[in-house]
Every structure is written in structure tokens, then in C-alpha cells.
Amino acid sequence: MAYDFLLKDLQSNLTQKAIGTDKGLAKIGDGVVNLVYSVAKSMHLTKTTNSKVIIRTGKNVSKTILAEALKEANMKPFSRSRADAHDLADTVEAIIAYVWLNGDITIKQLIVFLLEHLIGNLNNRTEEINSARVAFTKLLNHIKQYLPIC
Amino acid sequence: MAYDFLLKDLQSNLTQKAIGTDKGLAKIGDGVVNLVYSVAKSMHLTKTTNSKVIIRTGKNVSKTILAEALKEANMKPFSRSRADAHDLADTVEAIIAYVWLNGDITIKQLIVFLLEHLIGNLNNRTEEINSARVAFTKLLNHIKQYLPIC
């Protein structure tokens, strides 16, 4: 991508914490996460609903879901020590912004990945929370390959 | 793109109002608009700031800016009659979601277009509002070619 210069300062001393605690990356990642989840959810609902109705929806992914996904992917070291759920969610957003800006994964690939791993009835709140948590955990495990090892 | 099936119902009777008053498209477009503006603003600030500092930021584009852009691009007919500023902004978001989902323009192209048209000191609130309004007006004029003529 043409915008990896937005990462130049990080790349000079690239660590898990430098990525995971960057507030600007978290802000950009917040937009990426909500957009790709909204489209993946719309596609899943359209494909699984019995009628021929097309469903388009926007959805902010809850901080709790992202925080749980970070823990389940064993990636808490990317966050600051004594991080609360909000910090952990910011870390997920920062990581996703990092790999996207760096050109490791596209918006389309993020949507396709989530769609492949979203299951169940996303109109049911409990099922949606579980399904989103699992899908984001798998996404984090998938993008580990693009991240520093310490 | 692989997700233009999310537009199938609209395409069977494609009108300006069908696109511009679709609530689901507006929700998806809200994410697109805020993401591309955040990255374009980050790039502009990084390029124009005198120091070597890299600036990453997230920014929600105000409804007022989007509503003004729709009016200046003479695209009010896409919105419902007696639309208020919020409705007009939703229409801009729906239009941008439509052309993106339809594959007419990519996230990267949206960012590059905004970056090319953002000018001035975006750290100054008044300058940012003017600059963003002009940039979104130009973007709407640019994407008219992908939209129905009535």
C-alpha cells in the first residue's frame, strides 16, 4: 500500500508493545474493525436468512469481544501491563490497523476471513457475541505471522 | 468486488433515491467515510507538519460537513424530501457505500482522492471544516459517473 510511511517511526524499533499501545493506530483500527465486521455481518445475515432479503447493517464491535479475543489468542503482551478491557480492545484495533496499513492484509481479505469464521444466528445477541469472539480470535492468530515476535 | 450481491435488491430498480435513502448503506458508509478520512487526514498532517513526526489519528467527519457537500454537489435529489442535515449526511454515506460495494472505487482510491484535495492546516478547526467540505464535494462530483441519472 502507499500508506506504509505512516508506520515509519514504529518500524525503526518494532516491538509488540510499540504496535499494541499506539493510540493513533487504535483510532484508525477502530474504523477498520467496525467496517469489516459490518460488511461481514451483512453478508452472513443475507446468506443465512431464509427469505431472499438483502441485509445491510452497520455494527460496532464491542470492546469486550475484542478484549476477550486478544486474551484467547495469547496476545496480551502486545498491551500495556495492568491493561483493562478497554486497553486490550484498543490493542486489537491497533494490531489490525498495523497489518492493514503495512499492506499485509486488505480490507477485502479481512471481510472474507471474518465471513468464513462467523457462524450461527447473528440476530441472537448471545450467539453473535460468541461467534464474533471466536472469529476475531482466529483473525488474530492468522495475522500473528506479520507481527514482531517480542 | 465479491460483495456486490449486497446491492442486488437495489439494482433491480436503481434510482438516486433508492441508493440515497437506504439506511443500511448509510451505516456501512459511515464506517467507510470515517476510515478513509482518518487515513487521509493522518497522511496530510504527516506530510505538512514541519517536524519528522508521523501523525496517526482517527476522526469522525461531522454530519454538517457531509450535508453541505451534498448540497454543493447538487445531489439533494438523492435524499428524501424535506431532509434535515442528518438525512443529507446519511445520503452521502449511503452513496459512498454504494460505489465502494459496487467495486467502482476502492478504499485506497478514496483515501488518495481525499488526500489530493485536502489543503491547509487541518489542526485548525475552521480550516479543517472548509477543507473537508470542499474535498467531499469534489469526491461526490467525481463519483456521479457511477450513479443513476434519476
Give dist(CA A61, CA A132) in Å, integer: 8
Q: Which cell is A118 given?
A: 462467523
**In the structure, what pLDDT confidence band is assigned to residue A52 with cuts at 50, 70 and 90?**
confident
Q: Is the CB of B6 less than 8 angstroms away from the CB of A53?
A: no
pLDDT given at position B103: 95
User: What's the ipTM?
Assistant: 0.94
Look up cell 487541518; give the residue. B122
Give the global pTM: 0.95
Q: Using a CB–CB cutoff of 8 Å, tell me whether B109 touches chain A.
A: no
Sequential pLDDT tens for chain B (150 residues): 467 889 999 998 899 999 999 999 999 999 999 999 999 999 999 999 877 899 999 988 999 999 999 999 999 999 999 999 999 999 999 999 999 999 999 999 999 999 999 999 999 999 999 999 999 999 999 999 999 999
Q: Which chain A residue is nearest to residue B31, measuring alpha carbons?
A: A35
Classify residue B142 by burial, with Cβ atoms within 10 Å: 0-12, 13-18, 19+. middle
Query: Radius of gyration of chain B from Cα atoms?
Result: 15
Tell me the shortest Cα–Cα distance from B3 to chain A, in angstroms: 8
Q: Which residues of A touch B110 (CB under 8 A)?
A: none
pLDDT at residue A4 tops 90: no
Q: Which of A3, A36, A61, A102 to mutate to test the interface with B (most CBs of B within 10 A)?
A: A3
Domains of chain A: 14-146 (1.10.1520.20)
Residue range A29-54: mean pLDDT, rounded: 93
pLDDT given at position B17: 97
- Residue pLDDT, tens place only, A53-78: 999 999 889 999 999 999 999 999 99
- Ramachandran bin of B82, using left for φ above 0, alpha for ψ from -120 to 50, beta for the remaining angles: left
The two counts, helices (H) then strands (E), for chain A are 7, 0
Q: Which residues of B touch A43 (CB under 8 A)?
A: 3, 5-6
Tell me the shortest Cα–Cα distance from B122 to chain A, in angstroms: 16
Q: Which 3 state secondary structure label does DSSP give A107?
A: helix
CA atoms in the 13 A half-sphere facing the CB of A89:
16
Give dist(CA B91, CA B87) in Å, integer: 6
